[in-house]
Amino acid sequence: MQLVELQEKVVGRSDVAVVGISYDPVEVLSDFAESRGITFPLLSDVGSRVLDGLGLISPVTDDDLEYWGFEKKQHHLRLPYPGVFLLDAAGVVVEKKFERSHRNRYSAGSLLEALGKSDSVSRVTATDTKSGVAVRASLANDAVFPNQVFDIEVSVAVTPGRHVYVDPVPDGYQALTIGIDAPDGVFWDPPELPSGHDIEIAELGERFRVVEGDFDVSIKTHIHESVKDVSVDVVVAYQTCDDVSCDPPTELRLSLSLTVRPKG
């Protein structure tokens, strides 16, 4: 549960204020705060007047209700989009974290990092180097809740003077791919890779698209509630070359061990 994790990971451990807002009456929020140990303010917007004024009320369709598996009830017809606004010290919105599915919420670590508060975050990290490429994979949590959305950050450093290929590549060459190998129930979006630049090898009469130097990508991930503690492998496949010769295609595999917490 996002609010419980924010209580544990943010309140008293950083200078970031946490504020919840829902359409629940005060009594419901009071019971909830007491049973879950929430000490930050949970604001009660009965009738959703303030949420509506902020433009956060979503019309709910029959398709939504069917997807969620809910009977149609009056209080389901106008609901706030669930999500998080991140404000800087001046009160300006620096980022909005919303997900289409209400089941997917961002982790406290991801939110702290988005506010530049990485120091307050416990990370899980793995690094390895092969064939002129160093890769660091990490995530801003040591434990995750089912369905929580978190980013696995992958930093890649290609040795100066060398490059890796990106698609499209001629047959027989290995283009850079970055993905995840994990048991069923670990869901991830393929990261956006750097687009690189073209080089032409006159002797071969071939053009290649290559990436040099350092770059970072992030893999948006979440874990189904059926999964217990899990090892997630970040797999980076590539082939490095310099102006003269190429290494054979290879891959680096970095394992991140995640504790999956019971649903709060």
Partner 1 sequence: MSLQFDPGQKLRPIDFDSVGPAVGSQFPDIELPDQNGSVRSLKAIRGGGPAMIVVFRSADW
Give, as ranges, the residues between 59 and 98 that touch partner 1 (CB under 8 A). 61, 63-64, 67, 75, 79-96, 98
Number of Cβ atoms within 10 Å of the Cβ of 147: 18
**Should residue 190 be labelled a site residue for partner 1 when binding is judged by CB under 8 A?**
yes
Q: Which two tokens stand for residue 35?
A: 């049973």
Least separation, in Å, of the C-beta of 73 and partner 1?
10
CA distance 100 to 77: 17
Sites for partner 1 among residues 13-32 (CB under 8 A): 15-24, 26, 28-32
The residue within the footprint of partner 1, chosen from 101, 125, 129, 226 (CB under 8 A), is 101
Q: Name residues whose C-beta falls within 8 Å of residue 175's C-beta, 6 or more positions apart in sequence.
A: 165, 166, 167, 168, 169, 238, 239
Distance between CA atoms of residues 30 and 92, nearest Å: 29
**Under rule CB under 8 A, residue 3 binds partner 1:** yes
Q: What are phi and psi of 120, to 5 degrees?
A: -90, 5
Q: How far is CA 83 from the centre of its chain?
A: 14
Distance in Å, CB of 227 to partner 1, minimum:
10
By the rule CB under 8 A, 251 interacts with partner 1: no
Choose the binding region for partner 1 from 42-50, 128-136, 159-167, 168-176 (rule: CB under 8 A): 42-50
CB of 188: closest distance to partner 1 in angstroms?
6
Min separation Cβ 245 and partner 1, Å: 30
Closest CA to 234 of 213, 219, 216, 249: 219
Size of the site for partner 1 (CB under 8 A): 79
